[in-house]
Amino acid sequence: MPITFISDKNLFKLDAAGATYVLSVTKGGYLLGLYWGGAIPDANFGGYAFRDYASSFSPSNPEVTEGGFSPDTAPLEFSGFGTGDFRKSAVSIRNADGNDATDFRYTGHRISRGKGAPAGMPATFAEDPADCETLEIDLADRTTGAELTLFYTVFEDLPVVTRYARLKNASQKAMDIEKISSASVQFAAMDFDFIHLYGRWGAERNWVRSPLAHGHQSISSARGSSSHYHNPFAALARCGADEDRGEVYGFNLVYSGSFDITADVDYYETTRLNMGINPEGFLWHLEPGEVFDTPEAVLVYSKEGLGGMSRAFHRLYLDHLIRGKYRREVRPLLINSWEAAYFDFDTDKLVSFAERAKEIGIDMLVMDDGWFSRRNDDRSSLGDWWVNEDKLPGGLGVLIDRVNALGLKFGIWYEPEMISPDSDIYRAHPDWCLHVPDRPNSIARHQYVIDMSRQDVRDNIWEQMNAVLSKYKIDYVKWDFNRNLTEAGSALLSAPHGEEIFHRFVLGTYELMGRLVDTYPDLLLENCSGGGGRFDPGMLYFSPQIWASDNTDAIERLAIQFGTSLCYPASTMGAHVSMSRRTGFETKGNVAMWGTFGYELDPNRLTEKDLGIVKKQVADYHKYYELIHYGDLYRITDPWDNAFRCAWEFVSQDKNEALFTHVTMRYYHCPTLIVRFKGLDPNFTYTLESTGEKYSGAFLMNAGLNLSLYPRGTGESFVLHFVKEN
Ligand code: DGJ
């Protein structure tokens, strides 16, 4: 049993593969987070939680007189506000009396097989309830009548704990939630580095690593989406931990809206990390009997450095988050029209792309933005989802029939959460966008944001989308989202519910996206937000792949893909070969192969030479699909460590096969390049496919190979494929 309650010690022990998480309940009913780290067989935690009184500035509760206990110094697992714990609280509630003091104490617990999910939100799942076990701990604040349930799930074969919280107003009066974390985690130490992913449009998810210091370190989004700027991911790496060694704690929020992750190092050198919905722009009103669920948080423990952490996230997401047909089935290799034509296309041009794509071996044509209403540039028409017959004479049916007749599948673009002021829908319903009274709406890319909190608005968008999707054979949808939320108000939400809009927006998006994938289970959905502005586990629950960035330059993509890989598997990273000029087609292909792989160019512009390379890439896509999509990733040299070159490797789960890629970003004079490979079985013998030479796994990992004579000029790359000898 991965979860045990040791009743004589009032202690919960959660054992995941290679990791243990321990909670205890004090005599006064405080829930303490005692330990999270490497697996431990016993639970002799008597006295472990003892923290001496600091001074008269550490208050205690008169009812709880156990020696030295103060909420100020105790490792409270989910601290309320205003009753003696002065660190960042996990939950803060304004009660009907107008104060926000809460003091949650244990009232009971349950342990069961399987797991649930927060209402209306994506979450990890276990198809077989035997794969995981869940602990629910009930806490209550006697004074306000607020009741809290904390959910912990342990996946037996992974070093992962998932968590979320449910708050119920069990009183007779209304209350407002000012803040509620999905998880709050205590560490009796501060010797950590805080790692996170920051970025911007075209340069998403760069690694940053800095030592924790006394005080707060946080990342957040207040944009209404997870955003290009910070990803809802952070890690605490024990000082000295690196890619392959040392303890790393990884945190990721299964949420696509505004979030906050804060590490709070207190005066006594302990650390608390809270993660959840950003309290800024959040106030949730609960009438008596009502309940609020937080998004789910994923917690990963690794003893094998950042690499081990990434592989645990990847395995969890591949097996327990991504759903639908294309979770396992080979996805069609696609060509997208955006960088090939932008808004300038018609049926004949698209068919000409499809004809050439067919010759190359591509499986699907995706028609990007510009196919609907009067959308000839980005200034109009979002929300009017009817086909522009000036561009596509005879309508979509004619185009799709011609594409299908070539043997290609067909995909289409939507941006369902947006509305152009210059659109029929906006002229008819000016109150269908987010807005607040007496304040002009900010504009971005000439568009407003639709009020996704409204059922009637979502129904209208759905009816328009469904009219197209139900009529034609559409195999793929790209769901885009090209601006953030401002003037976030809804015509249907007034005080005391007005500030619920940011979260209600996300819930509305999830509901509509859920309708789409439930109605069309065979559809391949790819999310996108001006590139990778909403690359988060919430979106991955609906779409097995997300367009990683609008930047398709192979060299710049390296940092984007390395950063993304910290948390997200290769099969989720939308990556295409484009006409970008900095490198040749070999390198563009080798880089895009570390992702979903596809093309974003006019195939009629390919030279004969490039066509040959592209045809080989298509064959490689099929050859390495399983290895890249389901294998384990080992990062060898990353672009922040080394400004000149980077390298990575995929190893199949049975260790029978490995694929190594090396890219030189900038030529440098260095006579030797010896690379030691990772993740192989030391006892296996591997054949290097290109030369037929044989090496033991031990040799490849310890001595490595001298790769000095492989292509190493600026922008050049090479790939090595190792196969186990039978
Ligand atoms: C932003 C996306 O990232 C692009 O790939 C493309 O779909 C455009 N939007 C279309 O407007």
How confident is the model at residue 51, as a pLDDT? Answer: 75
Q: Which of 472, 500, 460, 330 is nearest to 401 (CA)?
A: 472
**Contact present, 552 and 600 (Cβ < 8 Å):** yes
359-396 tens-digit pLDDT: 999 999 999 999 999 999 999 999 999 999 999 999 99
Distance 338 CA to ligand 1 centre (A): 7
Backbone φ, ψ for residue 680 (5° rounding): -85, 170
DSSP secondary structure, 374-398, as one string? T-SSTTS-TT--SB-TTTSTT-HHH
Please say if the pLDDT value at position 68 is more than 80.
no
How confident is the model at residue 54, as a pLDDT? Answer: 67
What band does 614 get if pLDDT is binned at 50, 70 and 90? very high
Separation of alpha carbons 313 and 328, rounded Å: 17
214-250 tens-digit pLDDT: 999 999 999 999 999 999 999 999 999 999 999 999 9
Backbone φ, ψ for residue 165 (5° rounding): -130, 150
Give the residue ranges of DSSP H helices in 441-522: 455-471, 501-519
Global confidence as pTM = 0.98
How confident is the model at residue 48, as a pLDDT? Answer: 83
**67 vs 299, more confident:** 299
Please say if the pLDDT value at position 336 is more than 90.
yes
Distance 549 CA to ligand 1 centre (A): 9
Three-class DSSP category at 10: coil
Please say if the pLDDT value at position 1 is more than 90.
no
**Residues with catalytic function:** 480, 550
Q: Is 528 in the pocket of ligand 1 (CB under 6 A)?
A: yes
**CA-proximal residue: ligand 1, atom 11 (nearest):** 369
Q: Is 547 in the pocket of ligand 1 (CB under 6 A)?
A: yes
**CA-proximal residue: ligand 1, atom 10 (nearest):** 369
Amino acid of residue 603? P
What band does 546 get if pLDDT is binned at 50, 70 and 90? very high
DSSP secondary structure, 58-78, as one string? S---TT--STT--TTTS-BSS
Q: Is 600 in the pocket of ligand 1 (CB under 6 A)?
A: no
263-316 tens-digit pLDDT: 999 988 999 999 999 999 999 999 999 999 999 999 999 999 999 999 999 999
90-122 tens-digit pLDDT: 999 999 999 999 999 999 999 999 999 999 999
How confident is the model at residue 66, as a pLDDT? Answer: 66
Tell me which DSSP letter residue 291 carries.
E
How confident is the model at residue 53, as a pLDDT? Answer: 67
**Mean pLDDT, rounded, for 322-346:** 97
Separation of alpha carbons 302 and 320, rounded Å: 18
| Residue 478 CA, closest ligand 1 atom number | 7
Which tokens is 416 given? 């369902």
Average pLDDT along the chain: 96
Separation in Å, CA 507 to CA 103, 144, 146, 178, 450: 29, 27, 23, 18, 13
**CA-proximal residue: ligand 1, atom 1 (nearest):** 530
Q: Is 482 in the pocket of ligand 1 (CB under 6 A)?
A: yes
Least confident of 47-51, 333-337, 380-384: 47-51
Separation of alpha carbons 140 and 177, rounded Å: 15
**Mean pLDDT, rounded, for 255-261:** 98
Distance 411 CA to ligand 1 centre (A): 14
Using most ligand atoms within 8 A of CB, pick from 482, 483, 549 the residue to mutate for ligand 1.
Answer: 482
Separation of alpha carbons 264 and 52, rounded Å: 20
What band does 49 get if pLDDT is binned at 50, 70 and 90? confident
556-600 tens-digit pLDDT: 999 999 999 999 999 999 999 999 989 999 999 999 999 999 999
